Structure 1
Amino acid sequence: MVDSRPHKDDPTIVVRRRVCTDCEVRVTTQESTVDVGKYRARNRRLSKKHRAVTPPDELAAKNRVYQARHRLERAAKDEARETGLSVSSIRARWGLEASQ
């Protein structure tokens, strides 16, 4: 590492200049100093709060949809492995959206 300094616009980012030891090429990286644990804890609190105000039957319905999509995705991956086709072609053959 040649140089390390805070970003001029965002104090949570550290800008570092590095030099490759093999070819002497200089690169600049930007690394975040955001506390990931704090971010995840906040998301867990919000999720818990959301579950507390959402009716149980609505949560159960969303969970069933999630589980069904997961089973379909797993089945598509298994068939792709067995047939040698791509997962996206299996989804298309089954009439499923590519994002599922």
Structure 2
Amino acid sequence: MDLPIEKRELVLMVDYGFDWPLSDVTWWPEDKPDWNTLITPKLREDLLNWGRFFQRYGDSETGLFGSEERRRWFQQEGFRLDAELRKQIGHLYTVRLDLWF
């Protein structure tokens, strides 16, 4: 009986100082996925834009985005990106959304 191969976890989350919102930003260079071949250019750009949005509006003092509309958009976009990542790379990675902020 063949046991299933455990997929590596990829966490979708933001952090200060990083525009790229996937946990592979901290992986060793030889472990980093080639995103240009694994996901669509639109998804790659959307991920970068989500990370940049956090860098611009995420306030480390208050934990807010300057408005409830921005916070709501950020959260909804996180859910959308999570679903799209699962569609495009879910066969390769276990994707987990972490909206800690």
TM-score (norm 1): 0.32
Q: Which has the higher helix share?
A: 1
Between structure 1 and structure 2, the one with the greater Rg is: 1
Q: Which has the higher strand share?
A: 1
Higher relative contact order (Cα pairs below 8 Å, separated by 6+ residues): 2
